[in-house]
Amino acid sequence: MPTETTSPSTRIAIVGAGQVGGAVAYALILGSIACELLLVDVKVDLRDAQVRDLSDVAYATGAGMRVRAATHHEAGQCDIVIITAGSRYGFGETSIQHMHRNASLIRNVVKAMTPFRSDAIVLVVSNPVDLLTSIAQELAGLPKFQVFGSGTFLESVRIRGLLAEKAGVAANSIQLFVLGVQGDCQVVAWSSATINGIPLDKVLSPETFGHQELAKECKARAETIFSAKGATPFGIGSVVASICASILFDKREVRPISHYQPEFECCFSLPVILGRNGIMKTIDMPLASDENAAMARSAHRLKSAMELTDKK
């Protein structure tokens, strides 16, 4: 039985059924965000085990969602294709070598799915997310507004949560974005932060929270989680499910998403309006001059990485 809220044939594919792919699937099933979920992985045993485990979740919710194994080609024919394929550090591998391996992984994954259904939406989650989104976009053969990455959405959610704890205000009453290229260069857009539309510094005195400490804690969290449990699945899982809901239910929510920036010819995060066709519009966010400069620096770093991986 199709769910009431999605059209009868809605299908989402997850390519890379590891820790993150599994958590994305779990969140999608609990939210009944599609009718059918297709899992793809080169590790066939792992893929099939995930299908069985997640089918139990679907049986338990009783919403009638189906989970099954699929090929890359079938994944490319879905409404949304989520790329969560990844590679672990090889023994003695340098970070440059690993970056090349990550770049060639996404090329193989995207090529194995082309030609995509013409209205498919491709959502890249694998890291380094902005680099891999930029590569996927070049190869997918789809309009640019249909290929994007989870970008700094998780970081934005996280910093709102951290600030909420300090300020004693609910996180969903805080508007604050982490933007730019995810990772070392990401930019917290403090200058445009508000609490229900009121500038942050009018509501909270900066002494009650430190900009720098919060930005640092936001960046460090992923590593802290990763070093203890070897993956960071749940946060990204729920963020990705929320992106899928924005798309399939045409919600027009404003989210920080990695997408094509014509000025820099690569993908990184700025707020967008998300709807059924993908990126409906970039929100031109007014930033302070130091924030704009930091955004440009982050974009140039990404461009250098792109040039490096182009040569291989």
Ligand X SMILES: NC(=O)c1ccc[n+]([C@@H]2O[C@H](COP(=O)([O-])OP(=O)(O)OC[C@H]3O[C@@H](n4cnc5c(N)ncnc54)[C@H](O)[C@@H]3O)[C@@H](O)[C@H]2O)c1
**Measured distance CA(282)–CA(202) in Å, rounded:** 27
Rounded to a whole number of angstroms, the minimum distance from the CB of residue 196 to ligand X is 27
For residue 252, what is the DSSP state?
-
* Residues between 30 and 59 that touch ligand X (CB under 6 A): 40-43, 46
Q: Please give the residues from 204 up to 263 whose contact with ligand NAG meets the rule CB under 6 A.
A: none
**Min CB(154)–ligand NAG separation in Å:** 14
> Per this entry, what is the length of the chain?
312
**According to the annotation, is 16 in a ligand binding site?**
yes
Compare residues 145 and 234 and give the one whose CB is closer to ligand NAG: 234
Query: Taking CB positions, which residue lies at the least distance from ligand X?
Result: 18
* Residue 20 partner contact from ligand X, ligand NAG, none using kind-dependent CB cut-offs of 5 to 8 Å: ligand X
Build a one-symbol-per-residue string for 160-199: x at contacts with ligand NAG by CB under 6 A, - elsewhere: ----------------------------------------
Cis peptide before 115, with omega less than 30 degrees from 0?
A: yes
Q: Is 246 exposed, middle or buried (0-12, 13-18, 19+ CB in 10 A)?
A: buried
Unique residue bearing structure tokens 């893929």: 47
126 contributes a contact to ligand NAG by CB under 6 A: yes
Are 46 and 84 in contact by the 8 Å Cβ rule? The answer is no
* Stretch in the footprint of ligand NAG (CB under 6 A) among 126-134, 172-180, 216-224, 248-256: 126-134
Q: Pick out residues in 222-241 that bind ligand X (CB under 6 A).
A: 231-232, 236
Give me 208's structure tokens: 């009650």
Instruction: Collapse the DSSP code of 179 into the 3-class scheme (helix H, G, I; strand E, B; otherwise coil) and give the result.
Output: strand
- Binding status of residue 103 toward ligand NAG by CB under 6 A: no
Burial of 202 (0-12, 13-18, 19+ CB in 10 A): exposed
For residue 266, the SS3 value is strand
- The residue sitting closest to ligand NAG, measured at its beta carbon, is 86
**68 secondary structure, DSSP code:** E
Rule CB under 6 A: say whether 256 interacts with ligand X: no
Options 35-43, 63-71, 96-104, 138-146: segment touching ligand NAG (CB under 6 A) = 96-104
CA separation for the pair 8, 51 (Å, rounded): 21
Task: Check residue 86 for interaction with ligand NAG (CB under 6 A).
Answer: yes
Interatomic CA distance for residues 121 and 250, integer angstroms: 13
Q: Any alpha helices (H) in the chain, and if so which ranges?
A: 19-30, 44-61, 72-75, 95-113, 129-140, 153-167, 200-203, 211-229, 233-248, 289-310
43's contact among ligand NAG, ligand X, none, with CB below 5 to 8 A by partner kind, is ligand X
Point out the annotated binding site: 16-21, 41, 102, 125-127
Residues engaged in binding ligand NAG (CB under 6 A)? 86-87, 95, 98-99, 102, 126-128
Residues engaged in binding ligand X (CB under 6 A)? 15-21, 40-43, 46, 84-86, 88, 105, 108-109, 125-127, 129, 150, 154, 231-232, 236
